[in-house]
Amino acid sequence: MADVKKIAVIAGDGIGPEVVAEAQKVIAKTEEVFGYRFEFEYGLFGGIAIDQRGTPLPEDTLAMCKNADAVLLGAVGGPQWDNNPKELRPETGLLGIRKALGLFSNIRPAVVFDCLKDASTLKPEVLEGTDLIVVRELTGGIYFGEKLRREGPNGQEAVDTCVYSVMEVERIARQAFEIARTRRKKLASVDKANVLETSRLWRETVIRVAEDYPDVELEHVLVDNCAMQLLRRPSSFDVIVTENMFGDILSDEAAMLTGSIGMLSSASLGEGSYGLYEPVHGSAPDIAGQGIANPVATILSVALMYRLTFGYHDAADAIELAVKEVLDAGHRTKDIAVDKNKSIGTEAMGDLIVAAIRKLQGN
């Protein structure tokens, strides 16, 4: 019998609890079909933790995450916390948990599902074959540099500092090269080396790391140009590696290529197999509690967790195929439905995917 793996579950705010509940049904089904065993622990995080505990990232939640093999996160945030001071904002909890768990690498695949090609705002022929991964540096750069307010010669000023060390660039570059190696062996390193010193260090370092990966084709793309090329020739990208803020922006852009942010999963990783898995979409407070959210991104995040943390490739394949079959059969939640009157709810989508999970030939 497989050993019991511990998953820390943070449902979070808005639609978080609804989509996480469906992901847990999927996990339960894979336990039944594949004999894997999981134990769940639950913690408060984000807005709900601010309300109930006075902080977005309570100590016991962090301890629970550290003690688990992987973390499954729903979504955090909502308008009721938007005007809070910085230390009482859900986003602060998110940045804090990434840093505290050493999750320096954020992996965001953007895959165009064939049957959803029409959901994108781009022409289907431009999207044809798009299958890329944004590897975003997650614990450095301007997000984490020194910030201050001060009086300057023209009144109040604000400063955000962007710092990168060679070590930080090197480890994310290595991870991106390793991922590229398992795919089409193409890496685009995105920077602003024509202007920023951190980007020049980034580029020098990536070039040095590339010596260890002669089999991977490396191109350097300036971030503004990359934003344009993503719309012009998305299918030519394989793996994109970039710093924290550029990755934040480009991963949203890449997500929209697929036309369906409700479909995209993500992983945040450190050095080992430990990871935090969450849908790319947010807490969608406007539709929370209505039972209409799309659970697919969270369910696909479970597949990523199985692959990257546990090495349970058979179950990951089964989940991904189940999702594909359900979509191919025409089932749609509202966000991806062409005919909004024919859409199904969160639970119905979860149930259909659960029912489609089975052992595949050859696994």
Residue number with CB closer to ligand IPM (103 or 344): 103
> Shortest Cβ distance from residue 216 to ligand IPM (Å)?
26
Residue number with CB closer to ligand IPM (46 or 350): 46
**Which among 143, 164, 277, 306 is annotated as catalytic?**
143
Count CB-CB contacts under 10 A for residue 259. 21
The answer to whether residue 137 forms part of the interface with Mg ion (CB under 5 A) is no
In the region spanning residues 73 to 92, those forming contacts with ligand IPM, defined by CB under 6 A, are 91
The answer to whether residue 217 forms part of the interface with ligand IPM (CB under 6 A) is no
d(C-alpha 142, C-alpha 160), whole Å: 6
Q: Which does 8 bind (CB under 5 to 8 A by kind): ligand IPM, Mg ion, none?
A: none
Active site annotation includes 252: yes
Q: Which residue is nearest to ligand IPM (CB)?
A: 91
In the region spanning residues 198 to 257, those forming contacts with Mg ion, defined by CB under 5 A, are 248
Residue number with CB closer to ligand IPM (91 or 314): 91
Exposed / middle / buried, residue 216 (Cβ in 10 Å: 0-12, 13-18, 19+): buried
> Shortest Cβ distance from residue 220 to ligand IPM (Å)?
23
The answer to whether residue 253 forms part of the interface with ligand IPM (CB under 6 A) is no
**Which among 6, 117, 185, 252 is annotated as catalytic?**
252
> Shortest Cβ distance from residue 192 to ligand IPM (Å)?
18
> Shortest Cβ distance from residue 261 to ligand IPM (Å)?
11
The answer to whether residue 31 forms part of the interface with ligand IPM (CB under 6 A) is no
Q: Which residue is nearest to Mg ion (CB)?
A: 248
Q: Which does 91 bind (CB under 5 to 8 A by kind): Mg ion, ligand IPM, none?
A: ligand IPM
The correct pick among 22, 248, 320, 335 for binding ligand IPM (CB under 6 A) is: 248
d(C-alpha 321, C-alpha 325), whole Å: 6
Count CB-CB contacts under 10 A for residue 5. 17
SS3 for the chain is CCCEEEEEEEEECCCHHHHHHHHHHHHHHHHHHHCCEEEEEECCCCHHHHHHHCCCCCHHHHHHHHCCCEEEEEECCCHHHCCCCHHHCHHHHHHHHHHHCCCCEEEEEEECCHHHHHHCCCCHHHHCCCEEEEEEECCCHHHCCCEEEEEECCEEEEEECCCCCHHHHHHHHHHHHHHHHCCCCEEEEEECCCCCHHHHHHHHHHHHHHCCCCCCEEEEEEHHHHHHHHHHCHHHCCEEEECHHHHHHHHHHHHHHCCCHHHCEEEEECCCCCEEEEECCCCCHHHCCCCCCCCHHHHHHHHHHHHHHHCCHHHHHHHHHHHHHHHHCCCCEHHHCCCHHHCECHHHHHHHHHHHCCCCCCC
The answer to whether residue 278 forms part of the interface with Mg ion (CB under 5 A) is no
The answer to whether residue 94 forms part of the interface with ligand IPM (CB under 6 A) is yes
Active site annotation includes 224: yes
**Which among 224, 286, 328, 359 is annotated as catalytic?**
224
Number of residues this chain uses to bind ligand IPM (CB under 6 A): 3
In the region spanning residues 305 to 334, those forming contacts with ligand IPM, defined by CB under 6 A, are none
**Which among 13, 36, 192, 238 is annotated as catalytic?**
192
Residue number with CB closer to Mg ion (24 or 283): 283
Residue number with CB closer to ligand IPM (41 or 91): 91
The answer to whether residue 22 forms part of the interface with Mg ion (CB under 5 A) is no
In the region spanning residues 141 to 170, those forming contacts with ligand IPM, defined by CB under 6 A, are none
Q: Assign residue 46 a region (left: φ > 0; alpha: ψ between -120 and 50; beta: otherwise).
A: left
Residue number with CB closer to ligand IPM (94 or 296): 94
Q: Which two tokens stand for residue 269?
A: 């990783």
Active site annotation includes 143: yes
Residues with a catalytic annotation lie at: 143, 192, 224, 248, 252
Q: Which residues bind ligand IPM (CB under 6 A)?
A: 91, 94, 248
